[in-house]
Structure 1
Amino acid sequence: MSVNRHFEILYMLLHKKTLTAAELAEHFEVSARTIYRDIDMLSAAGIPVYASRGKGGGISLMDGYVFNKSLLSEREQDDILIALQSLTAAKFPEAEEVLGKLSRLFKKETNNWIEVDFSPWGSEESQRRLFPLLRGAIVENRTIRFRYYNSYGKQSERSVEPASLLFKSKAWYLTGHCLASNGPRIFKIGRMKDIVVTDERFEPRPAVPLAEAEDNIMADAIEVTLRIAAEGAYRVYDEFAEETITRNADGSFGIKAAFPAGSWLESYLLSLGTLLEDVGPPPLRARILSNLDAIRSALDPSAP
């Protein structure tokens, strides 16, 4: 079933009065039988649509029918259009097309007051194509399979019943029930590779509260203290919560925060370069120094 197709059929009938099932089937690239099912569903929803046979026949709306937009207040119409604009920011399939049609139906010009792009600069188009793929699997309750790299760099094969897409802390995640671990899990989409939507259907499970899922992620978290040079203010304010930041007398910044454990943490701290002046606890500092030695050896094999 396609809600967007039903809406577009209604939109076309409002403007073209009468269309044949063959014309609609060709437009939507579906069978005439599918079109007649759509008409039945529109009729069941209270839309006075009917099909007539014979010469000059076709699918029409009852004479005098007008979409009663007055059922929605001006504020409600604006709220719907703003919500659709927000969906286009997430590259939601068909949102922009529906936005245009509703704007014309409400006789409103859309004011693109907000523009959001969640993808990183220079990201590949293949990343954006993941959203329709994952959305389809979630809506149709289909199991997906993929290779996954965890925060320690370990690769595993996963089979998951997808539940929702989540944007948090500058990245997209997939929530779902992992069949391998037999429990709810959150997967960072950037680490999911070779995603395949299977024909295996599943019964949706009760939703897991986000707070509970976050507790699972932070179960192995470690308390980290950092000192970052004053010149690193842009990184500090971009990447750390206000309550974790302390400004030192010399202008440097003190950070005290919990981080999920994993080799990614050392890589992230190394990305601070010379802005990083101190780090604790001592075992984490030792791992960072070890990584620096390994980098030095890789770049300069002659170095002692």
Structure 2
Amino acid sequence: MKAARLVSEIVILGARSRPITASDLAQRLEVTERTIYRDLGELSRMGVPVITEAGPGGGISLLGDWVSPVAGLTRDELDSLLIGSPAAADLGFSSALATARAKVLAESSSAFSQLILVDGPDWFMAKEDPEQLDTIVTALRTQRGLQVTYRGRNDLRSRTLLPLGLVVKAGRWYLAAQPPGGSPRTYRVSRIGSAELRFLDCTPPPSFDLADYWTGAQAEFDASIRRILVRLRLPVAQIDDLKRAIPGRLTEDAIDSGRTDRDTIEIDLPMEPAGVAVSQLVTVPGVEVLSPKQLRRDLHDHAWAAAELNE
């Protein structure tokens, strides 16, 4: 689990008098170097003074004489610190997080973390309050299964699940879980109507990594809804506007492989159906739809209608 790995990294770094390379640390923990660097970012945000030095003799180490307070943390304090705010508050760890942060800050000469506030939900988005979050947390901490009712788009079904991890994104909670005999899937926690603990004869996938799973799940979802291939031409100066209007890895990849000619770039971009595509493209200055022709006409008609209304 990620929390246990972060603790291991703190312990390993704290016990060494010399830096350790990311490769060596990844090998010891049986993860990728990419995971190690992602973890270092997490540790820094928690207030752990991690430093990296390039070149011969360089590597990863802890700054100065900082002493890890891990041994002095209770289980709830440690979990709350590794989870972080604001997710810890949703899980009922507000008090534990405050105590844990005080213990960590007592060992650090830096108060920089107190100048940073992480606000989870996006602008203008209402924060969810999923009813079954406590039960799901209990299942994860006790390694038990769940019997849930889940509200899909058209029905309410009973499902048996082995919880694998929780993700909070923009104030919304998602459960990664495995049905017995199936593959891991993602469930929105606010759609779980009821949840009961169960003992299951089911084992999680080998070497399951929640962060890697979530990255893949987002990419798969993005690809599943962006089924129309659109050829666009736009000024290079408006690339950031395109990224803002149509965010995601597919957009980044399309831009990376685009064809640049002086001040313009031409790309092949997977997009959602025409109605959504028009609403996104109309916000990008200087964009031109080269194909398909129907989308080009739809964008023209939309812009023309808006122009007539605002003469």
Normalising by structure 2, report the TM-score. 0.47
Structure whose CA Rg is larger:
1
